[in-house]
Structure 1
Amino acid sequence: MTQVTVTFLQQLSASEVIPSSRSLPKNARVEQAQDITPEFSRFLYQGVGSELHWADRLDSTRAQWNEVLQRPGSETWVLYLDGSPKGYFELATTRCDSGSEVEIFYFGLFPEATGRGLGGVLLTEALSRAWDLASRWPELPEVARVWLHTCSLDGPAALPNYQARGLKIYRTEDEESQIRDASLGLWPSAAD
């Protein structure tokens, strides 16, 4: 077991978003994955999270994975650079007394895309899409809160990026966690 610190951050208004000072390169775009399949979602999840110990969804069946993707207010947006996926974010929405709450359920860059100034731009886009989600889902009430959590296993730039975009810490928890190798099944094992 490993001691992990989980940090929860939130925004209570779209006016709290602090956009990145950078913009996407001309050869990049962020696009919603309409009718995303569980296979593509799992590819994004494992490609981004394999080095960050993202393993909580790896035991999900295809049907379980698809159920998450089909919930009202669930969206996946992909960052493409030169036509190849380089990062993504997944939004999950729940109703609350004051409207809708949108969780940035997963967010990250593929390992080869880190350190290139793309994280702040992608997070700006994630926050913008979270705050205007009700415009794409008329059956959901207006967004009252956007939140996410990160942990001490994430990359060193994660928490500073979240705070630089205007997310504020509202809770931290220390927990014992069983760390799994999230890259298992990503590539065949090398023969000895």
Structure 2
Amino acid sequence: MDSNTALPLGYSSVPPGQIANVVTCLEMLARPALQAAPPFPPDLHLVALDRSDLAAYRALFRTVGEAWLWCSRLVMPDTELAEILNDPRVDILVLRQANRDVGILELDFREAGVCELAFFGLAPGLTGQKLGRTMMNVAIERAWSQQIARFWVHTCTFDHPAAVAFYKSSGFTPFAFQVELSPDPRLTGDLSEDAAPHVPLIRP
């Protein structure tokens, strides 16, 4: 949908086999004070992504995002994904626990003067331990270490219910709503049918 196209007032039907969610866009226009956060436990480390391993990246993307219906990088052609991952203006860190990747922090600086928090999340079971706050502080520091005037992110109603509040507490301010319509990835086979049980699966 064109971001300038307005939906009519009232209810709009979603075509069979598709899903719709409300996207909240948030931004910060100056570096904020960091929130208090504990250091990572000794078994957790943020490390640079191995940009040559598309399969490992997609496995992490699925681990972190399947519960929230993330699928964009799973269906993206290899050449397009490799171009993003190998762009020096894209900063990607992986949270690693022993030999397992359990979190992702992806900052996109490809627009001059702007940083987008493209992907940010933890594997199931690691939320609620303040690890996200520690990762966000790293994200803020890395973003504002560059010559930017705007740091922004978007989240949606399929995400963790605390996402908007978390971003606001980090210094982001909501500035726009959008409605996203897309094929249900559980019906296309890109995600398992039991992913995101909080989102009803409606077959065509």
Query: TM-score of the superposition, structure 1-length normalised?
Result: 0.80
Structure 1 unpaired stretches of 5+: 135-141, 186-192
Kindly state the Cα deviation for residue 34 of structure 1 after the two structures are TM-superposed: 5.1
Does 2:112 align with 1:107? no
Give the alignment of 1:64-83 within 5 angstroms: 64-83=80-99
Ranges of 4+ aligned residues in structure 1 off by more than 4 Å: none
Query: In structure 1, the residue corresponding to 2:111 is in which secondary structure?
Result: strand
Superposition RMSD in Å: 2.1
Which has a greater percent of strand?
Answer: 1
Kindly state the Cα deviation for residue 93 of structure 1 after the two structures are TM-superposed: 1.4
Structure 2 unpaired stretches of 5+: 1-17, 194-204
Instruction: Give the letter aligned to residue 162 of structure 1.
Output: Y
Give the alignment of 1:82-121 within 5 angstroms: 82-96=98-112, 100-121=113-134
**Counterpart pick for 2:46 among 22, 30, 43:** 30
**Counterpart pick for 1:7 among 14, 24, 37:** 24
Does 2:59 align with 1:43? yes
Q: Over residues 87-137 of structure 1, what are the superposed CA-to-partner deviations in whole Å (9 max), with x where a residue is unaligned?
A: 1111111334xxx211111110011212222111111112212222x3xxx
Residue of structure 1 equivalent to 2:144:
131
Q: Measure, in 1, the Cα distance between the counterparts of 2:122 and 2:131.
A: 8
Distance 1:95 1:60, change over 3 A: closer
Q: Percent identity?
A: 27
Q: Measure, in 1, the Cα distance between the counterparts of 2:142 and 2:127.
A: 22
Query: TM-score of the superposition, structure 2-length normalised?
Result: 0.75
Q: Measure, in 1, the Cα distance between the counterparts of 2:103 and 2:38.
A: 16
User: How many residue pairs were aligned?
Assistant: 173
Q: Measure, in 2, the Cα distance between the counterparts of 1:20 and 1:43.
A: 31
**Counterpart pick for 1:183 among 186, 191, 195:** 191
